[in-house]
Amino acid sequence: MNICLLAGDGIGPDILKQARKAFSAVEKKFGHSFAFTEALIGGAAIDATGGPLPEETVTKCKASDAVLLGAVGGPKWDDVAMNIRPEKGLLGIRKALGLFANLRPAALFKELAPACYLRPDIVAQGIDVLVIRELTGGVYFGEPRGEGQRDGERAAFNTMIYKESEIRRIAKVGFESARKRRGKLCSVDKANVLDVSRFWREIVIDEHTNYPDVELSHQYVDNAAMQLVRAPSQFDVIVTENLFGDILSDEAAAITGSIGMLPSASLGAANPGLYEPIHGSAPDIAGQDKANPLATILSVAMLLRFSLNLAVEAEAIETAVKTALAQGLRTGDIMQPGQRLVGCEEMGEAVAALI
Ligand code: NAD
């Protein structure tokens, strides 16, 4: 089983080091053997090669069964030309691997309930949402885009566009995922204003005929943003387009209390899938043994489950993370009174030992 590791920038190398320990623990416990290759992406790749996504990285990723990414970006590269910014590496690898579905589970660990930003009576109803974001279409990639002149002054524009096939395949991921969970899918759009959203809704409703057992609902994105903080327990699976999903998945993540806890998977029609924590490169704490490695370690669990079909091994990791939290281990971002503050290394060691 070949895993390609893309550490990236900032805390990327810190957290991937801990992820490796989780892989090693799984190897020992279950008798597997993982082969790792490393490749450059983001600012690290700009420094070494002049661009954020070297061809060699794409080749190595395509040759692997799954890719684990740290994070990209940082102030050092804020002023580089738009077309070679670190984020372009991320968008580029998603495109190169055909990863059209981004799965972000936002579940509240009961040990971290006090860190949740919502009222205790709302928290008590539980938060366990899977946000599925379309990843390769919409306004982030639509053409035409650029700068020009309108009415005698400078203007800039992007295009929000979806083909029917793009909506259908992400809707399928939504319905299939809902089937494996609590059977509820909420499609989020802005059909009261946007033509592209009216089309989105039409296709999702049509696709629903193949999944009559799944309960389908629709919400406008502004309402969904509000409902996520007012009554998140109503949601099982949310499916939405790229831009709305970017924002809603961060919102769903934030209400759980720590961005350092949440994994993600980006999947295409076949392997390799790409797995990464949802947070950024946290340059403010990079290299200081302060990063929370749990989002990355939980991304390893998703990788084992979705790309390598190792569900029992994935569960062993998830249980180890829960146990570490139950034992009171906390990195700075999730620290609460009465718990024990640990660094990135110690948290990684502890989870590996618990696996
Ligand atoms: P960020 O997620 O990097 O950091 C936001 C805050 O959360 C910071 O205070 C940071 O210290 C903290 N934080 C994040 N992850 C943490 C962890 N694992 N443990 C403890 N604390 C953690 O977002 P930002 O500050 O807006 O962006 C920093 C850089 O990351 C920028 O260059 C941005 O473009 C990039 N970025 C990359 C990705 C990605 O690689 N997927 C995503 C978002 C932002």
Domain boundaries, the chain: 1-102+262-355, 117-255
Indicate if ligand 1 lies below 6 Å from the C-beta of 324: no
Distance 14 CA to ligand 1 centre (A): 13
Active site residue 17: no
Indicate if ligand 1 lies below 6 Å from the C-beta of 139: no
Among 140, 184, 289, 322, the one annotated catalytic = 140
User: Is domain 1-102+262-355 given the CATH code 3.40.50.2000 in the classification?
Assistant: no
Q: What is the pLDDT of residue 117?
A: 86
Indicate if ligand 1 lies below 6 Å from the C-beta of 74: yes
Q: What is the pLDDT of residue 232?
A: 96
Indicate if ligand 1 lies below 6 Å from the C-beta of 70: no
Q: What is the pLDDT of residue 109?
A: 87
Please provide residue 79's backbone torsions phi and psi, each rounded to the nearest 5 degrees: -100, 5
Indicate if ligand 1 lies below 6 Å from the C-beta of 9: no
Q: CB of 214 within 8 A of CB of 177?
A: no
263, exposed or middle or buried, with CB in 10 Å at 0-12, 13-18, 19+?
A: buried
Task: Give the other-Cβ count within 10 Å of 225's Cβ.
Answer: 17
Q: What is the pLDDT of residue 207?
A: 98
- How would you classify the pairing of strands 146-150 and 329-330? unpaired
Indicate if ligand 1 lies below 6 Å from the C-beta of 292: yes
Q: What is the pLDDT of residue 114?
A: 82
Q: CB of 186 within 8 A of CB of 238?
A: yes
Q: What is the pLDDT of residue 113?
A: 86
User: Is domain 117-255 given the CATH code 3.40.718.10 in the classification?
Assistant: yes
Distance 282 CA to ligand 1 centre (A): 4
Is-same-fold flag (1-102+262-355; 117-255)? yes
Active site residue 78: no
Active site residue 206: no
Q: What is the pLDDT along the chain (355 residues), one digit of tens a residue?
A: 999 999 999 999 999 999 999 999 999 999 999 999 999 999 999 999 999 999 999 999 999 999 999 999 999 999 999 889 999 999 899 989 999 999 999 988 888 888 788 999 999 998 999 999 999 899 999 999 999 999 999 999 999 999 999 999 999 999 998 998 899 999 999 999 999 999 999 999 999 999 999 999 999 999 999 999 999 999 999 999 999 999 999 899 888 877 899 999 999 989 899 999 999 999 999 999 999 999 999 999 999 998 999 999 999 999 999 999 999 999 999 998 999 999 999 999 999 999 9
Please provide residue 103's backbone torsions phi and psi, each rounded to the nearest 5 degrees: -105, 120
Active site residue 222: yes
Distance 288 CA to ligand 1 centre (A): 14
Distance 284 CA to ligand 1 centre (A): 9
DSSP 8-state class, residue 128 = E
| Ligand 1 pocket, mutate which of 6, 18, 67, 279 (most atoms under 8 A from CB) | 279
Q: What is the pLDDT of residue 98?
A: 93
Residues in the chain, overall count: 355
Distance 259 CA to ligand 1 centre (A): 8
